[in-house]
Amino acid sequence: MIKKAWYKEGVVYQIYPRSFKDSNGDGIGDLRGIIEKVPYLKSLGVSIVWLSPVYQSPNDDNGYDISDYKAIHPDFGTMSDMDELIEVLHKVDIKIVMDLVVNHTSDEHEWFQKSVNREPGYEDFYHWKKNKGNWSSFFGGEAWTYHEIRKEYYLHLFSKKQPDLNWDKLEVREAVKDIVKYWLDKGIDGFRCDVINLIGKEDGLPNGKFSLILRGREHYLNHPKSHRYLQELAKDVLNQYDCFTVGETGFTTPEIACLYQKEDLRELDMMFQFEHMAADNHFVKWFPKKFKPMNLKKPLSKWQNGLNGKGWNTLYLENHDQTRSVSRFGHPDWYSESAKMLATMLYFQQGTPFIYQGQEIGMTNANFTELSDYKDIESLNIYQLARKKLLYSHRKTMKLLSIASRDNARTPMQWDDTADGGFGSDRPWLKVNPNNVTINVKNNLRDEDSILKYYQKIIQLRKQYPIIVYGDYQDLHFKDKNLYLYQRTYNEESMIVICNFSKKFITIPDDIDLTGYIKILSNTASEERLLSPYEARVYYKESTKKA
Ligand code: TEU
Ligand code: CA
């Protein structure tokens, strides 16, 4: 029996504050902008908001490089705006989760400055070496950079302005606990823990074996130390609060996930896995391949089956690092149908749903044409690498960015059809996608048949039917290349979800017996057993015994 919890029943909405709503016209979304849109979040029906980082930061990686964990970046507002946001959300029963980025800090954090200068107590707050190691960075290039003042190399698994903290040092772990406690005492309800399965590193940081991607990863991914450090954090701080954690944990399998989610140790309450994010690439997004529905179905089903009764899934297709799901997995000719079908396919599975801002109105990739349109450090690094190391042409590299750049999902939220998309500034930090003339919140609210209205329905259904949250999951017709079909069961109840992932008309397989079922949701009006392209349906039966 699955243990019940509010964070399993809730629906999370991820806000990328920079791009959500600008309240003062400086081109950057901010906390007062979010406060303005709380009624929108409430009407959507979500119960938890996850804020990407709003802390003090030089913004080398848009806030994922933090220089003061207890201060709000002035671009976003003030601490009193933050307190107000927490209060306003709580008043309408929406919880709030913050991003905890503690694998690394900014190089402008005072801890790093002190470490550079070997101030007592800080010498080994970070990973320093006389000779550089051979690990590679997630953003391309080397993970070791020489520091002129300290005259040693330091480790940074991300940009060189994101030095990795040395978690082996008790004082580092205590400093993190202090930050976590600070925010929980302010009343926040949990954390999304950035790359949390990278915090533990092998003693001595030995060189990695040869590998084209992420050399050195065998020395830190899911290291036993990460488990120990998370247990300590839970025991000393998290367990004293009614909060939850979701870990961002790439390179995990369901077996590894279960190790993080042992109930008594409570290292993480749920995790973001990445296997389904490879459905349209060769494991690394910079090596794209044609999307095949089977490549989405296989990993999702593997995680559903692998965690059932042992762990808890997160259900996501998008975030600030991934491109837009309707552009990736949908079909432009069946744009609205495919956006709704994808939501149906995903959110009726077992786990906590995560909706990334704009996904609920079917926002699409940016389609930038100029290199100067891109702002993301990773995209700019990769551009240089592809041109210089892989000798790609400008054209080919731009094509690659248009497929895989993180900026595709970071364009300003499209509130209406005006020039700035209702974002609040005529000079947004990243260009507004011109398709805001049709794809926007205002249009979606007016149209009863919109993607947004469909998301509202899904969220309402989750509140109404516990089977959607807690039911077991079984694949049906797993081998079918075009249909994603599954069943949920809970006590006597049953639910059948049918999704057509193709532009073909397909008849529901004969052995799917729908007698006694009622259709509780679908993205088209048809009643026959013939599914139209990208059709999705959800059937429910109260008792499998009655019928
Ligand atoms: O992402 C970690 C991570 O694995 C991604 O960097 C991923 O490899 C990359 O986005 C591929 O494009 C987290 C944050 O979500 C991301 O925004 C940060 O840049 C990163 O950590 C560093 O903090
Ligand atoms: Ca602003």
Per-residue pLDDT of the chain (547 residues; tens, 9 = 90+): 899 999 999 999 999 999 999 999 999 999 999 999 999 999 999 999 999 999 999 999 999 999 999 999 999 999 999 999 999 999 999 999 999 999 999 999 999 999 999 999 999 999 999 999 999 999 989 999 999 999 999 999 999 999 999 999 999 999 999 999 999 999 999 999 999 999 999 999 999 999 988 999 999 999 999 999 999 999 999 999 999 999 999 999 999 999 999 988 999 999 999 999 999 999 999 999 999 999 999 999 999 999 999 999 999 999 999 999 999 999 999 999 999 999 999 999 999 999 999 999 999 999 999 999 999 999 999 999 999 999 999 999 999 999 999 999 999 999 999 999 999 999 999 999 999 999 999 999 999 999 999 999 999 999 999 999 999 999 999 999 999 999 999 999 999 999 999 999 999 999 999 999 999 999 998 878 999 999 999 999 998 665 4
Task: Quote the tokens at residue 158.
Answer: 């991300």
**Residue 411: what are its φ and ψ, rounded to 5°?**
-65, 155
The separation between CA 30 and the C-alpha centre of its own chain, rounded to angstroms, equals 20
Q: Among 60, 194, 360, 407, which one carries the catalytic annotation?
A: 194
* 194 noted as active-site residue: yes
Distance (Å, rounded) from C-alpha 204 to C-alpha 499?
Answer: 50
CB under 8 Å to 6, separation ≥6 — which residues?
A: 47, 95
For residue 142, being part of any structural domain is answered with: yes
Q: Separation of 198 CA from ligand 1 center, angstroms?
A: 12
| Ligand 1 pocket residue status of 321, Cβ below 6 Å | yes
CATH classification of the domain holding 491: 2.60.40.1180
Task: Say how many domains are in the chain.
Answer: 2
Distance from the alpha carbon of residue 322 to the mean position of ligand 1, in angstroms: 9
Q: Active site includes 248? A: yes
Mutational pocket test of ligand 1: of 57, 100, 138, the residue with most ligand atoms within 8 Å of the beta carbon = 138
Residue with tokens 């998301």: 455
Q: Which of 65, 248, 267, 275 is an active site residue?
A: 248
Q: Which domain, by its residues, includes 137? A: 111-155
pLDDT at 543: 86
pLDDT at 545: 67
How far apart (Å, rounded) are the C-alpha atoms in residues 521 and 537?
Answer: 6
CATH code, 123: 3.90.400.10
pLDDT, residue 531, reads 97
Q: Which of 125, 155, 185 is the last residue of a domain?
A: 155
Using the 3D structure, point to which of 155, 182, 216 is the last residue of a domain.
Answer: 155
CA distance 163 to 329: 35
Whether 537 is covered by a domain: the verdict is yes
Whether 186 maps to a domain, the answer reads: no
For residue 25, give the ligand nearest its CA: 2
Q: Is 407 in the pocket of ligand 1 (CB under 6 A)?
A: no
pLDDT number for residue 547: 46
- List beta partners, residue 165: 126
Using a 6 Å cutoff on CB, does residue 318 contact ligand 1?
no
Residue 401 has a pLDDT of 98
**Looking at the domain assignment, is residue 425 inside a domain?**
no
Rounded CA separation 127/162 (Å): 12
Rounded to an integer, what distance in angstroms lies between the CA atom of residue 299 and that of residue 295?
7
Q: Is 396 among the domain residues?
A: no
**Ligand number, closest to the Cα atom of 379:** 1
209 inside domain: no
Structural domain includes residue 490: yes
| Ligand 1 pocket, mutate which of 248, 321, 377 (most atoms under 8 A from CB) | 321
Residue 510 is assigned to a structural domain of this protein? yes
Last residue of a domain, one of 137, 155, 173: 155
Q: What distance in angstroms lies between residue 33's CA and the mean position of ligand 2's atoms? A: 8
For ligand 1, atom 17, the nearest C-alpha belongs to 321
